[in-house]
Structure 1
Amino acid sequence: MKFTFLGTGTSMGVPTAGGFGSERLKGDPRDERWRCSAWIETEQSSIVIDTGPEFRLQTLRAGITRVDAVLITHEHMDHISGLDDLRPFCYKQKQTIPVYTSQTCKESIKRRFEYMFGPDRYPGATSVELNVIEDSFQFQDLRITPLPANHGKVDVLGFRVGNISYLTDVKEIPESTEKLIKGSEVMVLSGLRWKPEHPTHMTIPEAVEKATKLEIPRTYLIHMNSRVNHKQSNQRLPEHVRLAYDQLILEVD
């Protein structure tokens, strides 16, 4: 299974519009982060996790030519605003694309993208089927397990796909979800910044603590803001935890 990080940045992206925040890019392309999204590719399947504001550009940059399904973590716009960019894939594939998410997120998508659904659906709009998932299910050659977690007052879903567990925008992970993550070869986990603590996101030290507790061999951090320098941060991290970066590709059994 090939896993590609399409984007690894926080909700405003890095660098941010208007120069917000303290930029420390210094020419390292790994410090330029589009909004969080990922692509999972096998011989039979091409699945993306989240469709944020740069989704069209991310598909072009990564060379994605087919999308068989979409997994959505939650309803915040940096994770769903690119749903309309599935439209050319629907046209090319001549099919409706299934989207898997929570009940709350499903209802939010239907409200925000009203023109895609119902009797007043706009002709030619993106054709997606919204599916609520609560338990593990088989999609073609992949076993997908939802990983419920907490993002402040918002419930989010992570996903275990084979031997990789993906969780973004996470503050707390319940013990029941930790049991589902254990045994993963790779974990992808959000780590917003080094400090101070944040009410709805794990900091990098909190993410490291969680990865160490779960004894995951390899953990990659995502959803970093513009105050996180890639090179300097990796020098501070333990060997089993690294910062991910846009277009990093992993091979996972």
Structure 2
Amino acid sequence: MQVTLLGTGDTTGTPTVGCDCDTCERSRDPGDALRRRLRERGVDSPRERDVERTRFSVHVHNERTGESLLIDASPDFRYQFLREGVDLPDAVVVSHVHFDHLDGLGNAYRLLEDVPVYAADETDPNTGESVAETIEDKFDYLDAIEVRPRSPFETIRTCGLDVTLVPVDHPPLVCYGLVIEDPETGAKLSLSGDTSYGIPERSREMLADPDLFLADAIVPADLCEYHPAGGAHHDDAGVPRTFGTKHMTREGALDLADDLDATETRLVHLAHFYPADEAFEEPLAIDGERYEL
């Protein structure tokens, strides 16, 4: 399967609208050295546009069947698909109901036909409905999509791939990571979803041993001092693996990758709060990276 990172940013993306911080400015004017590094990451050409992190989304293409799966529907859907030139999806999986992962689904209007949208069926006590029910309510005007509720840990066969939603920890809302496996080749992609380091053990077991792991790593750990809730899930040296309560730090994401024995790890859902001299260094991802699994 071919994995394309359509969007690797957090809810505001990088560069952030109206921001002139050093990281956003470097994103707008990356320089030749960064462009060379992008080529090494598999990004098509040393593009003269911004080095971007649009809102989160991942495209998975199954070369055997010619079908494509979209993981989360970014508000930047239209731009991402035009920019990367990938096929429109034959199916969609939605991890949770925050707008930066869901609202791009409205792009199905006049673009898609009869596309299944898979989402969890368990009721969120904070909303009184499941992710699937929220999508049905929000997009009831879209005849192009068919919401298909699925239980966590229930494997779905779609686009010739086996897809499993696994619960993670993103309070106050329910949220899910994903495991995507090719039943023919054994290739495995795992996504942490938006989560703290406190992922349940059964979910960790499902996520383990991926060829590629995409891990939420919103900021470096030293920025926890600026969060009202501080940090959590500290390691033996006292470094917080969770920023506040909802997202992993860079250090926490890398520790989780080690826990899961990931072959390759890319950090995603990244904020522009990373210092400019760290923001585009390995293993932090940027939009447009492609991987063959």
| Counterpart position of 2:291 | 250
Q: Conserved in 2, the CA contact under 8 Å of 1:30 and 1:245?
A: no
| Counterpart position of 1:96 | 114
Alignment of 1:64-83 (within 5 A): 64-83=86-105
- Verify: 1:133 aligned to 2:159, yes or no: no
- Indicate how the Cα distance of structure 1 residues 158 and 169 shifts in structure 2: closer, same or farther if over 3 A, else same: same
Structure 2 CA distance for aligned equivalents of residues 148 and 68 of structure 1? 24
Structure 2 CA distance for aligned equivalents of residues 215 and 142 of structure 1? 22
SS in 1 for 2:148: strand
Aligned pair count reads 233
Further displaced range: 59-68 or 179-188: 59-68
Structure 2 CA distance for aligned equivalents of residues 231 and 136 of structure 1? 41
Further displaced range: 135-144 or 69-78: 135-144
Identity %: 27
How many Å apart are 1:8 and its aligned residue?
Answer: 0.4
How does the TM-score come out when normalised to structure 1? 0.85
Structure 2 CA distance for aligned equivalents of residues 232 and 41 of structure 1? 31
How does the TM-score come out when normalised to structure 2? 0.74
Aligned to 2:62, which of 29, 37, 42? Answer: 42
| Counterpart position of 2:236 | none
| Counterpart position of 1:170 | 195
Alignment of 1:1-253 (within 5 A): 1-19=1-19, 22-25=21-24, 26=26, 27-28=29-30, 31-43=51-63, 44=65, 45-90=67-112, 95-103=113-121, 104-114=130-140, 116=141, 125-134=142-151, 135-162=154-181, 163-171=188-196, 172-194=198-220, 195-196=223-224, 197-229=243-275, 232=278, 242-252=283-293
Structure 2 CA distance for aligned equivalents of residues 247 and 153 of structure 1? 31
How many Å apart are 1:49 and its aligned residue?
Answer: 0.6
How many Å apart are 1:199 and its aligned residue?
Answer: 1.7
Structure 1 CA distance for aligned equivalents of residues 8 and 131 of structure 2? 21
5+ long unaligned stretches in structure 2: 31-48, 122-129, 182-187, 225-242
Q: Conserved in 2, the CA contact under 8 Å of 1:188 and 1:222?
A: yes
How many Å apart are 1:48 and its aligned residue?
Answer: 0.6
Task: Give the letter aligned to residue 214 of structure 1.
Answer: L
5+ long unaligned stretches in structure 1: 117-124
| Counterpart position of 2:39 | none
Task: Give the letter aligned to residue 95 of structure 2.
Answer: T
